[in-house]
Structure 1
Amino acid sequence: MSVLLTASAGSSLPMLLSLVILFVFMYFFMIRPQQKEMKKKNAMLADLAVGDTVLTTSGFYGVVIDIDEDTVIVEFGSNKNCRIPMQKAAISAVEKPDAE
């Protein structure tokens, strides 16, 4: 009976090792890059200022008019009449105006 227990305990070591390797692989190729991307986006949104040109997640370009805690008012188009409040999370890219 002790021979069977020893054999089964020895065969679980490779399985445990493969699970550890799988977890390490998932961390470095899936979880860590996603965390880096999230930090980069949070830094971009924290650096947002009035007058920046933004690209929304829906594909519209606009200029930031006002910033609140979690919302921004973005002006779209050249007629200056289309001002839409939206969440900061809806901004996918920010372009700073050129300082001349």
Structure 2
Amino acid sequence: MSILASTSSASTAAGWGGMIIWLVVLFGFMYFFMIRPQQKEAKKKNAMLSELAVGDTVLTTSGFYGTVIDIADDTVIVEFGNNKNCRIPMQKAAISAVEKPEEAMEK
């Protein structure tokens, strides 16, 4: 009886060891292919928004192009189109791309 008990506990321990290795491999895969790219993208967007300045042309998440005319903390005021009366306050997070005035002249 004691020989069977020790054999079954040894095989159970080996089974758990294999499962733990697969969990570590799975976590490593998820980190390098899912979590890390999202963190890099978030850092890139935060850097873009921190360099935002008055006069920059921006593309909003809804697809509108406009020019930044004022910046305050988390809010920016963007002017859309040729109509100088179309000024809309929005959150910085709603900006998906920024084009500096120097870049626009080079194109």
Structure 1 residue 79, shift from structure 2 partner: 1.4
Are 1:60 and 2:52 an aligned pair?
no
Aligned match of 1:75: 79
What is the CA distance between 1:36 and its match in structure 2? 0.3
Q: CA deviation at 1:12?
A: 1.6
- Aligned-partner Cα distance in 2 for 1:2–1:73: 73
Q: Which runs of 5+ in 2 are unaligned?
A: none
Cα distance in structure 2, aligned partners of 1:42 and 1:7:
51
- What's the counterpart of residue 49 of structure 1? 53
Kindly provide the CA deviation profile for residues 64-91 of structure 1, in whole angstroms up to 9, marking residues without a partner as x: 0000000000000101110000000000
Q: List alignment gaps of at least 5 residues for structure 1.
A: none
Identity in percent: 73
How many residues align? The count is: 100
> What is the RMSD computed on CA atoms of the aligned residues?
1.2
Which 4+ stretches in 1 moved above 4 angstroms?
A: none
Structure 2 counterpart of 1:92, one-letter code: S
SS in 1 for 2:45: helix
TM-score by length of 1: 0.96
Deviation at 1:11?
Answer: 1.6
Q: How does 1:22-33 map to 2 (within 5 A)?
A: 22-33=26-37
Equivalent residues in 2 for 1:1-20, closer than 5 Å:
1-20=5-24
What's the TM-score once normalised by structure 2's chain length? 0.90
2:101 is paired with a residue whose SS is coil
Post-superposition Cα deviations, 1:37-87, rounded to whole Å, max 9, x if no partner, equal 000000000000000000000000000000000000000010111000000
